[in-house]
C-alpha cells in the first residue's frame, strides 16, 4: 500500500457508513472507542447500538490505512485514544463529495426536496 501522504483518498471509496461516521466524530477531537460509539449513537439514534467488536475492527483497519492514529492513554486514563489524520480528513472529504453527488442525482429525480420549501 502507498504511504498515506501519497495515497489517493478516492481509492478508499465508497466508505462503510460506520467508518465515515468515525471520521466525522474524530473531526471534533480525539476520543477513546467507547466515546466514539456513544457520540455516533447520540448523533444518529437510527444506528442503534454500536457493538465494540465491530467498532474496534473498523478502528484497527482505519489505523492500518492511515486514516486515524492511535495512542495509549496516560496517567489514570489508560484507554487508547484515536484521532483523525490529515489523510483521514482527505478521505472524509472525498466521501462527502461522493455522497453529495449522489444526493444531487436523487434530487434530479425528485426523490428528495431540492431545498427549504421545495419538494
Break the chain into its structural domains and give their ranges.
12-108
pLDDT digit string, tens, across residues 35-77: 999 999 999 988 888 899 999 999 999 999 999 999 987 766 6
pLDDT on residue 119? 47
pLDDT on residue 47? 83
| Helix or strand run (H / E) with residue 55 | helix 52-64
The architecture that CATH gives domain 12-108 is Orthogonal Bundle (1.10)
pLDDT on residue 118? 52
Terminal CA-to-CA distance of the chain, rounded, Å?
Answer: 45
Contact indicator for 12, 67 with CB cutoff of 8 Å? yes
Contact indicator for 14, 95 with CB cutoff of 8 Å? yes
Position 2 confidence tier, pLDDT thresholds 50, 70, 90:
low
pLDDT on residue 79? 84
Predicted confidence (pLDDT) at residue 116 exceeds the cutoff of 60: no
The three-state secondary structure class of 85 is coil
CA distance 49 to 40: 9
pLDDT digit string, tens, across residues 78-101: 789 999 999 999 999 999 999 999
Amino acid at each position: 500500500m502507498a504511504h498515506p501522504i501519497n495515497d489517493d483518498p478516492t481509492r478508499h471509496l465508497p466508505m462503510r457508513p460506520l467508518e465515515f461516521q468515525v471520521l466525522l466524530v474524530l473531526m471534533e477531537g480525539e476520543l477513546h472507542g467507547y466515546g466514539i460509539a456513544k457520540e455516533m449513537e447520540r448523533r444518529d439514534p437510527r444506528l442503534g447500538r454500536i457493538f465494540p467488536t465491530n467498532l474496534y475492527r473498523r478502528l484497527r483497519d482505519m489505523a492500518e490505512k492511515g486514516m486515524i492514529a492511535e495512542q495509549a492513554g496516560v496517567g489514570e486514563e489508560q484507554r487508547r485514544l484515536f484521532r483523525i489524520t490529515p489523510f483521514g480528513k482527505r478521505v472524509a472529504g472525498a466521501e462527502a463529495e461522493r455522497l453529495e453527488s449522489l444526493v444531487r442525482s436523487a434530487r434530479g429525480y425528485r426523490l428528495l426536496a431540492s431545498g427549504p420549501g421545495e419538494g
